[in-house]
Amino acid sequence: MLDGPRARGAFLLRAHLDPPWSMRVQDEAPLTLVAVVKGEAWIGESTRLRPGEVAVVRGPQPYVVADRPGTPPQVVIHPGQRCTTLDGQSLFESMLLGVRTWGNSGAGGATAMLVGTYQLEGEVSRRLLDALPQLIVLPGGPLIGLLGQEVVKDEPGQETVLDRLLDLLLISTLRTWFAEHETPAWYRAMGDPVVGRAMRMLHDDPARAWTVAALAAEVGVSRASLARRFTDLVGEPPMSYLTDWRLALAADLLREPGATVGSVARKVGYGTPFALSAAFKRVRGVSPQEYKAG
């Protein structure tokens, strides 16, 4: 699941701010990273971010980022990263300070932050999102400095560089958090010599016509033994897990340019577009075509 984050043209900026400042973020993004380079910031009333720390914020619920608790919001961040005053007047142009740089002061602002947003739910595994609390704060390490250097560059391929750096910062942060906290069953199961190997096979080759018997043969145990051990450790049978994985991949692939339901169905192990459509609608409540259009 940590291999899942795949930012695509992620929203990234460097903010320079002088107090008093406060932003109400209601962009409905599934996941946002806020890293403080200089000064400090508060998320909500009780979470303080110091230099070198990164916050991972789960959406889509709104939240406030401010210079201190209690500062009333002056700025609202809407879906699509549209930035306005409280009464709806656009602020983006007036606060633009350069390439991917924004704020109410120059480079000498009291607070400097980096903000990176995964804008589509499919960019981050739903299973991974469900395992996270609403807010994580941890040291960000040298990746914050590297991302800060790259975010203001305007060179060929720069969006791809920034996307991968954002992925790396997220994965590094989550790996540290999982090492220090109670982890979800699927994360612990990856360390099991039998179940972990079976999970990696399902991840690596979802299009294969897997059965529990075929998977058991690959990992060298009986069908009954694998089914029991997998269910005990992961919390669901192997084929249920595979279905969830296939549909998560399908959701990602449907967002790719030129993707069709038929091409995606073949890549994730469904024999026909109809079979994928039926499973997708049953689990997600919309058809693949509706999901792709949205």
The pLDDT tens digits for 25-36 are 999 988 899 999
* Nearest-angstrom CA–CA distance, 61 and 65: 13
Burial 58-87 (b: 16+ CB within 10 A, else e): bbeeebbbbbeeebebebbbeeeeebeeee
pLDDT, tens digit, 9 for 90 and up, residues 100-125: 888 888 767 899 999 988 876 665 56
- Of residues 80 and 207, which shows the higher confidence score? 207
pLDDT, tens digit, 9 for 90 and up, residues 23-66: 999 999 888 999 999 999 999 999 999 999 999 999 889 999 99
* Nearest-angstrom CA–CA distance, 136 and 9: 23
| Residue-level pLDDT at 256 | 80
The CA distances from residue 89 to 78, 86, 229, in Å, are 12, 8, 57
| Residue-level pLDDT at 77 | 92
| Residue-level pLDDT at 249 | 86
**Interhelix angle for 223-234 vs 195-204, to 10°?**
90
Q: What is the mean pLDDT of residues 81-99?
A: 86
What is the reported pTM?
0.76
